[in-house]
Amino acid sequence: MHSHLNDMANHKSALKRIRQNEVRRLRNRYYHKTARTAMKVLRNEENKAAATEQLPKVIALLDKLAKKNIIHKNKAANLKSKLTKHVNKLA
């Protein structure tokens, strides 16, 4: 974890804000990366049954990211649409 506490403000509230921002940044990065990996797995899935089972889980992840403003809601919608099309295309 980066320690930005030395090179910035000395106000108690500002220091707390820096700590909170760092924790949130790492947490958001983790959520985002998890969702990206899940999408990658879904895209590489050849089996229609498996893909159909994974799709709702990935959609839920994307919806959560959009709700928390980690990704824009339109981006989430576009990704969901693309992934759904991909799954429907599988034979």
**What is the CATH architecture of 11-89?**
Up-down Bundle (1.20)
Each residue of 41-79: pLDDT tens digit?
999 988 999 999 999 999 999 999 999 999 999 999 999
Delimit the domains of the chain by residue range: 11-89
Distance CA 15, CA 32 (A): 26
Tell me if 71 sits within 8 A of 31, measured CB to CB: no
Secondary structure of residue 14 in the 3-state scheme: helix
Beta carbons within 10 angstroms of residue 62's beta carbon: 23
Each residue of 4-16: pLDDT tens digit?
655 667 799 999 9
The two tokens of residue 16 are 């707390």
pLDDT for residue 67: 95
The two tokens of residue 49 are 């049954």
